[in-house]
Structures are given as structure tokens and as C-alpha cells.
Chain A
């Protein structure tokens, strides 16, 4: 569109728009664009006229009304008296939670499976091939349902953990696995507890600094400092010391089997629906990522491996230091679309009753208010923004690892 306004250097005549091959395609594209806009304008005005005729009008006022329904996973404060807007935000956060968890897990699964698919071991190679083919070729909705139903059927009801003399004891006194979800202890921070957390974060930076120093020393002087155990020591020792010095200011809120006759109270519950959705998205998309990883690795010429081997590198190091960093350039672009797929597929949440944004805004809110067009437009906007956001971030990363031509 904008290119058409570029003034040509030579004398420009109107007939050139049609006769000159340099402009002709632009002219046609411009006409097509106008037609497209006209078509959409026609549909849009028709929509508005018909909505008006049916007595419906587009209005977002309902977002300020009380939602009236409850949500089972509330990352932020929410009651049935909160507004539809807040219910949507709860849904958005829930979408982001499951998308994030699934992206991370899928990447781990994918990289492991992709690398192992090229293993020299026949059994490992075949097992990974089976994983990829089985999961890639069955719709993700089916996986979500299978995992959810297996969880519901295989795990006991919450009641077996309850009472003075429960049928089952908490695992390690801390965890309960029920068909409603997994109950875990939650750390509670007293004021000094935050100081301990601060020490821990400082230690993480400490580890990074140490490793930088060790690498630099290696490059500068050829002296090899041990990496493994000092990193570990820097990471945990100061935190443990701080924890005890400050009088154990972080406690655990454990699941309590006695407080209620229906459910364990206290701690934090990871809902079965979240687990099913997260896991299904992760293994399903992991299978696609595995193929990308394999393709990426195979794209690196064999000479690289042979060259590294002739320098005396061990196979593990060849993979980590030579092959994977180069393969990343091939892997990242399709990885972006896998992440987008996870985020969009997370809208299947409603199949297992996970309250993501499609479940709150696009589900109950839509249904209770009857504002179908408004809510679906909002949903589309949300998924669009999220997808563009993920693409932007990943593109920045892609640029940073691209072959640097000097």
C-alpha cells in the first residue's frame, strides 16, 4: 500500500499503472484491497442493521456488572460479586498459566525426544519414534480427555485422606493425590522470610558471576576451575545459613485432613483439569517440537560432528557445545508457531472445566449475558495480542542467536 506512493524518478504517466509491468501488479493488488474493504464494510453494515432490527446493540456495559458465578481457580481475588471484567481477567491469567507451563514442559519433552530420536540405540530411537507418531497423530482434545478421565478414574476421591484415621496418609505428610487434583504444601513467608528469599536470589547471581569468572579464567590462562560443586554450594549454603540464623522464618502451610469433611484444607491445590490440560498440551506439542529438533540437528552438516570429534570432544559435549547451538537457528522459527499453537489450543480447556478465558469470558459470561458478538470479539482480540506478543519475544530471541556475519 505504501510502496505505491513512492515517487518514481522518471516522468510518471497514469497509463503506466496498467501498462508498465513494474506497477501493474500493484494496481491489481490495490483494486483487490479496495474490493475486500468494500466487502467487509458491506458485511459490517449489514450486521449492524440486522442487529438493530433484532433490537440488539453492541455494548460492553456488561463488563461492569457483577458476574454472579464462581470460578474454581482464582489467581487473583475474585468472588461471585466481582465484575465480568474481573472474571475475564481471572480467565486470562489462567490461560497464561497453562500456556506458560505447557510451553516450558513441551520444550523439555521435545528437545529430549528429538535428540533421542537420533540416538544410536535402536530401542531408544524406536521408542521416541512411537512417542512422536502416537501423539502427533491423535487430536489434542482426545489427549486432554483421556488424561482427565484416567486421572478421575485412577486417583482416589479426596475423602480417603480425611479424618482422624484416614484410609490413606498424606505422601510424606505433605502431598495428596486425589481425582480433584494434587494438594501440596504452600510456603508461608514471615517478614524475615523475604530476607531469606533475597539471599537466595543473590546466590543465583553469585553462581552466574562465579561461572563467568571461571570461564574467563579458562580462556585467559587455560586454568580449569571446578564448576559443579562450587555452583551448588554457592546456590544453597548461604540460603540455608540465613534460614536458620533468622529463626526459620519460612513455614509450610500443610494440607490439613481434619479441618473439613469434604476436602483437604490449606496448602495449594493444583486442579485435575489444569494438570490434564497442561500435560496433554505438553506431550502433544512436544511431539511436534521433537520433529523440529530432529530436523534442526540433521540440518547441521556431519562435518561439524566429525571436526569436533577429531578435536577430542566427547559426544555429549559435541551435542551441547557444537551441534545444538547451531541447530537452534533452524529450530526456533517453527518453535514459535508451536508456542502459538499451545496458547490457542489451551482454549480447549472447557472440555475439562478449566476456567481459562474461553471458559469465563467466552463461556459463562457470554452465556449469562447473551453478548455473543461482544465477548467473541474481545476473545479474538486477546488471542491476537497474546500471539503477537509471543511472536515478538521469540523473534527477538531468534535474532539474538542468528548467524552473526562479521
Chain B
């Protein structure tokens, strides 16, 4: 496997001279499908349903981009990636964008040369543990065996947390969420740690979710967002503003149900610019006027996507919290469409 990564890297760097650097949008249009990197399966965020259709909070971003660029929300090739393979997949050009619970960090942005286009979920790292162990704080975890997904920020935070609290632990490195779940339920590790949203999503699939508790400590900041390669700003802009369109639509009250009505023209100029009845924003992006309208129509605005996939009425049951609009005391704040 390592050899293939290496040969992959070699071929990409050695032969496909500059192919990966620019023109992603043209590639996507020529291909007619968007290659979008997602998880190997995390219910609520990205998982295939019983018909093999991918669904979820991250998947919705991929679909919105496909709708904006290609006019077809189903023209997406979903590429499952693990914590370890995701960056190679993006850097090598195997995928056009990555939407996989990926934390925006300095080194990923600057050193690994990726461009995070925004944040679609403000998260933090938490711990899940069986209730019967009677643990009420992460500081009581001295000596515990902890399951972690390798290739994540999680494993670095974990090492820091235990070291700074002067307690010890045994890590069990694991490739995918599904394996981690299996090991955790078999008792091969005492604790499972990852992003709190991921823990909630994992717990929701358990037979008895009530037997497991999330500890109160959130030990890190995990701003999760979609990302693209450095160096192709046009493509980065398309993905960034598609995400912003979903967020702005919620702020402006544009939903999948009233969007057709609003597209006829409203007296709010920002809505008009967003939906393309006023101004030339679409053209500036290299798209048509209705790009954002299609993106929003696909799965609704940010709030609708949240509520449908991971919100309080779903088994995952996440509250909006930090992910509420800034007008509701949250952190979601899209720059203006102007």
C-alpha cells in the first residue's frame, strides 16, 4: 500500500506536469462529475444509505458544489477516504475537494498546502466511555486504553491532554470509525475519543446509546470545513462561496421551499444578488447567474441541512450551539454577497 502511495506521489509529481495545480473547474466541467472526498462512513456526516446513495452533512456540501458548477446535484463521485489517505487523495488530484470532518489547522493550511474554504461545523474533541465505568471527568482516565483514529488531529490533542494533566494512557491506533466502534464495543479500549460531533454520530448507531456517556471536557478546537488544493484560487472561490451561499441563505431566510418564490425577485437586494436576479456575481465566479439558487435548492440552506442530517430531531441530536447564525449568538457568519 505504501508503495502505491509513493508511486502515486511519484507519478503525479513526476509525470502529470502541473496538471494538479490549476484548472480544477475546467476539469470538473469536462468530466461532468465532481470527485468529492468523504469519510468511509459516519452516519449523519457522510454515509451511503441502503440504496447506496450518499447522504449527510458533509455530503450536502459536495452536492451543493456539484449543483452550482454542473447543474446536477447527483453528478458527484464520492471517494471514501480515511484520516490517513484523505490528504494524499486531495494533493494527488484524485479528488477535487475534500469534505470529511477535517480540522482547519495551521500546518495543514500552510505546510501541507491546502486551502480551507470555510468552516461548516465548529467542533471540539471529546471522550465517550461506557456509563458503567462511572467516570465523570476526562481527568480520571489515568491508565485507560484509548481508541483513536490515526492521521487525525485527535491523536496529537490526546497526547497533549494526557501529558499536560500528568496522567498516562495506552493508545490503540485505528484506521476508520467503523473499526473504532467495533473495538470500543468489544471492550478492547475503555474510551473512544474523536470530534464530539463524530462521537454523537457514532453513539447514535449503537444498540443502547444510553449506556455510553460523553465526558464534559472538550479538549480542543476543531473547526471542520471543506478544503481544496492550494494554488487554484478560482476553484477555491467556487467552493468557498457555495458554502457561504448556504450559510447566507439561512441568515436571509431563503429556504428550499420559498426559493422559487424569492427567485422571482424580492425587495432585499442581497437576496436578489445571491439568487442572481440582480448583479453578476455568478459570472464573476465563472458560473451562470443561478448557481447559488441551484446549490440552495438541492438540500436547502445550512439550517435545513443541519436539521435534516444531524439536528435535534435526528437520532444524532446535535444542538446548533456554536453553529448557530451569528444573529442567534453562534459563530456562523458569512461575508456579504456584494
B159 touches A373 (CB 8 A): no
Assembled-state Cα–Cα distance A373/B3 (Å) = 11
Known: A152-B183, A353-B172, A355-B173. A261 touches B150 (CB 8 A): no
Chain B contributes a number of interface residues (CB within 8 A of A) equal to: 53
Contact mask A29-68 → B, CB, 8 Å, 1/0? 0000000000000011011011101111000000000001
CB distance from B40 to the nearest CB of A (A): 14
Whether A272 is near chain B, meaning CB under 8 Å from some CB there, is: yes
Chain B residues with Cβ below 8 Å from A51 are: 13
For B154, give the chain A residue with the smallest CB separation.
Answer: A69
B175 touches A376 (CB 8 A): no
For B175, give the chain A residue with the smallest CB separation.
Answer: A350
Whether A260 is near chain B, meaning CB under 8 Å from some CB there, is: yes
B14 touches A179 (CB 8 A): no
A179 touches B173 (CB 8 A): no
Whether A80 is near chain B, meaning CB under 8 Å from some CB there, is: yes
Q: Tell which of B21, B142, B163 touches A54, judged by Cβ atoms closer than 8 Å.
A: B21
CB distance from B10 to the nearest CB of A (A): 6
A260 touches B142 (CB 8 A): yes
Chain B residues with Cβ below 8 Å from A347 are: 2
CB distance from B302 to the nearest CB of A (A): 30
A359 touches B173 (CB 8 A): yes
Chain A residues with Cβ below 8 Å from B182 are: 152
Whether B112 is near chain A, meaning CB under 8 Å from some CB there, is: yes
Chain A residues with Cβ below 8 Å from B30 are: none
User: Looking at chain A's contact residues, is the secondary structure mostly helix, strand, loop, or mixed?
Assistant: helix
Assembled-state Cα–Cα distance A376/B10 (Å) = 11
CB distance from B2 to the nearest CB of A (A): 5
Known: A47-B14, A262-B144, A376-B9. A179 touches B188 (CB 8 A): yes
A50 touches B13 (CB 8 A): yes
Whether A370 is near chain B, meaning CB under 8 Å from some CB there, is: yes
Q: Tell which of B9, B17, B163 touches A372, judged by Cβ atoms closer than 8 Å.
A: B9
Chain B residues with Cβ below 8 Å from A50 are: 13-14, 17-18
Most B CB within 10 A of own CB, among A153, A272, A368, A380:
A368
For B18, give the chain A residue with the smallest CB separation.
Answer: A53
For B174, give the chain A residue with the smallest CB separation.
Answer: A353
Assembled-state Cα–Cα distance A362/B151 (Å) = 11
Chain B residues with Cβ below 8 Å from A370 are: 87, 91, 107, 111-113
A158 touches B145 (CB 8 A): yes
A79 touches B173 (CB 8 A): no
User: Looking at chain B's contact residues, is the secondary structure mostly helix, strand, loop, or mixed?
Assistant: mixed
Known: A69-B159, A72-B172, A376-B2. A46 touches B17 (CB 8 A): yes
B190 touches A262 (CB 8 A): yes
Q: Tell which of A71, A80, A368, A380 touches B163, judged by Cβ atoms closer than 8 Å.
A: A80
Known: A50-B17, A367-B83. A56 touches B113 (CB 8 A): yes
A79 touches B188 (CB 8 A): no
Whether B335 is near chain A, meaning CB under 8 Å from some CB there, is: no
Assembled-state Cα–Cα distance A379/B231 (Å) = 30
A367 touches B151 (CB 8 A): yes
CB distance from B117 to the nearest CB of A (A): 19
Chain B residues with Cβ below 8 Å from A377 are: 6
B113 touches A55 (CB 8 A): yes
A373 touches B6 (CB 8 A): yes
Chain B residues with Cβ below 8 Å from A180 are: 145, 170, 172, 188-189
Contact mask A376-389 → B, CB, 8 Å, 1/0? 11011000000000
Assembled-state Cα–Cα distance A143/B18 (Å) = 42
B159 touches A363 (CB 8 A): no
Assembled-state Cα–Cα distance A68/B182 (Å) = 26
Name A's B-contacting residues (CB within 8 A).
43-44, 46-47, 49-51, 53-56, 68-72, 79-81, 152-153, 156-159, 179-180, 259-263, 265, 272, 347, 350-351, 353, 355, 358-359, 362-364, 367-370, 372-373, 376-377, 379-380
Closest 3 CB pairs between A and B?
A: A157-B187, A80-B159, A260-B143
